[in-house]
Homo-oligomer: A and B are copies of this chain.
Amino acid sequence: MVTVGIIGLGLMGGSLGLALKGKYRVVGYDRNEKHVVEALEIGIVDEVVSFEEVQKVDILFLAIPVEGIISAIESFSNLGKETTIIDLGSTKEKIVEKVPAEIRENFIPAHPMAGTEKSGPTASIKELYRDRVVVLCDLEKSGEKQKKDAFEIFNFLEMRIVEMNSKEHDKHTAWISHLPHLISFSLANSVMAQENRESILNLSAGGFRDMSRLAKSSPNMWRDIFYQNRENLLESVELFQKELNHMKILLQNLEMDRVKERMVSANRLHDIL
């Protein structure tokens, strides 16, 4: 049986363990003691092992915050020669830059477009990855055995594989994920800065809940993502700020037909999503 190692047993790693167990032998490592206890209770992994042990597997997943991924790949000392290392980070360019040359062929930069605003092993969902997109980056620099492993395991997870270079990936995810998170955090904070926030939030329905859900996401995880992808994120924030400000000015000038035109334009999302 192929052995899979998972570093990080939170939402992403935990969900992976639940989905792979049975088909693969799954061992896990987490430096957080509480996560270890919960992971064993829930049965996310077959065994919890040390950081040294977890490297000696056929396929090793890195399911930790993106700055932690960089630290981890710089500190491996016990990797198998052929071990396939798959990182699940939400940023790719800075991570790929830091992969030591001697393990570059072992490495598969991956980003599963899946998750929830929750975190920790108890947030794990066996079906989290199913039918979702996984982006694989810069595969021309990965070894044949490693690519084969990656395709097999993501197919087993029933994910839709999209290939893209890491630069492109980071530009895309700034728009599709990182900017929406930044907006949601900001919306939540601006509402909660209101004196009568409790009575405002008492009226919340589906719209506000959807728009503020991401604001419940893990600050540790998102600090790292924002840091690594700050250049693309800042670019997308500025374009968003321009669009919002344009709407504000139209509204100030009572140009309601033009406000309506912008909404008709936004409605085109219907045709795509």
* Chain A contact residues, CB within 8 Å of chain B: 113-116, 132-133, 135, 162, 172-173, 175-177, 179-194, 196-217, 219-220, 222-223, 226-227, 230, 233-234, 236-245, 247-248, 251-252, 254, 256-257, 259-260, 262-270, 272-273
Q: Whose C-beta in chain B lies nearest to the C-beta of A222?
A: B263
Residues of the B chain whose Cβ atoms lie less than 8 Å from the Cβ of A237:
244, 248
Q: How far is the CA of A204 from the CA of B172 in the complex (A)?
A: 10
A32 vs B198: C-alpha distance in the bound complex, in angstroms?
A: 40
Task: Give Cα A161–Cα B190 distance, bound, in whole angstroms.
Answer: 26
List, in ascending order, chain B residues with CB within 8 A of A189's CB: 243, 262, 265-266
Contact: A216 with B270, CB < 8 Å?
yes
**Please, which residue of chain B has its CB at the minimum distance from the CB of A265?**
B189
- Asked whether A241 lies within 8 Å of B245 as measured between CB atoms, the reply is yes
Contact residues in B for A212 (Cβ distance below 8 Å): 180, 269, 273
A–B complex contacts, Cβ < 8 Å, 11 sampled: A190-B240, A212-B273, A216-B270, A219-B267, A222-B260, A223-B260, A230-B254, A237-B244, A237-B248, A241-B244, A241-B245
Asked if B200 and A172 make an inter-chain contact with CB atoms under 8 angstroms apart, the answer reads: yes
A247 touches B192 (CB 8 A): no
Contact B273 A209 (CB under 8 A): yes
Nearest-CB residue, chain B, relative to A236: B190
Known contacts: A194-B175, A226-B251. The answer to whether A182 contacts B244 by CB under 8 A is yes
The smallest C-beta distance from A255 to any residue of chain B, in angstroms, reads: 10
Q: Which residues of B contact A208 (CB under 8 A)?
A: 176-177, 180
- Which residue on B lies nearest to A164, using beta carbons? B199
Q: Please give, as numbers and ranges, the residues of chain B lying within 8 Å of A267 by CB-CB distance.
A: 215-216, 219
A196 to B185, CA, bound (A): 26
Return the chain B residue nearest A179 by Cβ. Answer: B187
Contact of A203 among B173, B203, B234 (CB under 8 A): B173
CB distance from A72 to the nearest CB of B (A): 19
Docked complex Cα distance between A247 and B269 (Å): 27
